Structure 1
């Protein structure tokens, strides 16, 4: 699925140069479930942005299914994101004036899916995350956990190959955290996704089959015996 070779990302802050990523080599097989953990500022979110084709490396190569993402035009990168990659973030990023079903449908608009099919697929995606009875509800009429379920349905409705989650439980209490993790793991198993998650939560990291730790832009990966 992913092959990273010598991936470096540098930012300039005044007179200083910061290596957010410092020569990362990483292989993520198709169907993998990888959790990325590390201190704030260590490079976790930067790495996720690279995997999501949201940013380009300063140096090195990021290959997705054999295609070097850094070599693609912005138009083609947008297409890769739209077709192949689903995103779930800490903030739910729902449109407050749209219903749950309409929010999920927004992911299909760039793909040119016709309105009838959009409605059907959105309803199906919401049912798969346990919100089949909430199609017409606005975000303000749902709990935080329910809103994050809508965000998950929106990420999955386009049937991506990859699901990237950046602190998806960060705004939720412990009971809602466990509920959302159950949904994400069930979707990974049922859909055969490659699932990559950034988290600060050690209780989540302990359950991951593979755990990557990133500090000062360098990464180590180990099989997780406790998973």
Structure 2
């Protein structure tokens, strides 16, 4: 699925050069669930952006199914993100003037899905996250956990191969955090997704089959054999 070879990302901070990623090598197989942890500023979100084609490395290659995302044009990158990669963020990123149903449908517009099919698939996606009865509600009428469920439905409605989540429970209380974590794990198993999540939460990290730790741009990966593997699709 993914193969990262010598991935480096450098930024300028005043006169100083900062290596957010320093020669990262990483393989992520289809169906893997990888959690990325590390201190603030250690490169976690930068790594996720590389996997999602949201940023390009200063050096190195990011292969997704044999295609180097770092070498694609912006138009082709946009097409890859639209079709193959779902994103979930800490801040939900819902459009406040659209209903839950309409927010989910927005993910299908770039794919050219017709209106009737968009409505059907969005309704199914909301049902799958337990929000079928809240489809007509605006984000302001939903709790934080419900808003994140809408965001997850929006990420999954296009039937991606990859789900990338950046601190998806960071704005939620402990009880809601556990609910969202269990939902994401269930969807990972059900759909056979390749799932990469950035989190500061060690309780979530312990549930993952693989844990990557990023410190000062350097990556260490360990396996957790006690975590459950997905049920084959």
Common fold by TM > 0.5:
yes
* Maintained 8 Å contact 1:206/1:226: no
Per-residue deviation, 1:225? 4.0
Q: Normalising to structure 1: TM-score of the pair?
A: 0.99
Runs ≥4 residues deviating over 3 A? none
Partner of 1:53: 53
Q: Tell me, what secondary structure is at the counterpart of 1:164?
A: strand
Q: CA deviation at 1:226?
A: 4.5
1:211-222 map, 5 Å: 211-222=211-222
Report what 2:70 is aligned to.
70
Question: What SS is found at the alignment partner of 1:146?
Answer: helix
Secondary structure in 2 aligned to 1:195?
strand
Once the two structures are TM-superposed, the CA of residue 86 in structure 1 deviates from its matched residue by 0.2
Q: Secondary structure at the match of 1:170?
A: coil
The 3-state SS of whatever aligns with 1:133 is helix
Q: Deviations over 1:39-68 (max 9, x none)?
A: 000000000000000000000010000000
Report what 2:81 is aligned to.
81
SS in 1 for 2:41: coil
Please report the RMSD computed on the Cα atoms of aligned residues, expressed in angstroms: 0.6
Measured against aligned partners, the alpha-carbon deviations of 1:136-173 in whole angstroms (never above 9, x if no partner) come to 11111111100000000000000000000000000000
Q: Which runs of 5 or more structure 1 residues have no equivalent in the other structure?
A: none
Q: Name the CA distance, whole Å, in 1 between partners of 2:46 and 2:26.
A: 14
Aligned counterparts, 1:199-214, within 5 A: 199-214=199-214
Q: Is the aligned partner of 1:35 residue 2:35? A: yes
The answer for unaligned runs of 5 or more in structure 2 is 228-233
Report the equivalent of 1:102: 102
Corresponding residue of 1:178: 178
| Mapped partners of 1:48, 1:121: distance in 2 | 27
SS at match of 1:123: helix
- Equivalent residue, structure 2, for 1:162: 162
- Taking the aligned partners of 1:183 and 1:175, their CA distance within structure 2 comes to 13
Aligned to 1:113: 113
Partner SS state of residue 134, structure 2: coil
Deviation at 1:14, TM superposition (A): 1.6
TM-score for both structures, normalised by structure 2? 0.96
Query: Contact 1:5–1:61 (CA<8 Å) still a contact in 2?
Result: yes
Distance in 2 separating the partners of 1:7 and 1:96: 36
CA distance in 1: counterparts of 2:62 and 2:94, whole angstroms: 30
Q: Distance in 1 between matches of 2:159 and 2:206?
A: 28
For the 8 Å contact 1:84–1:160, the answer to whether it is kept is yes
- Residue number in structure 1 paired with 2:146: 146
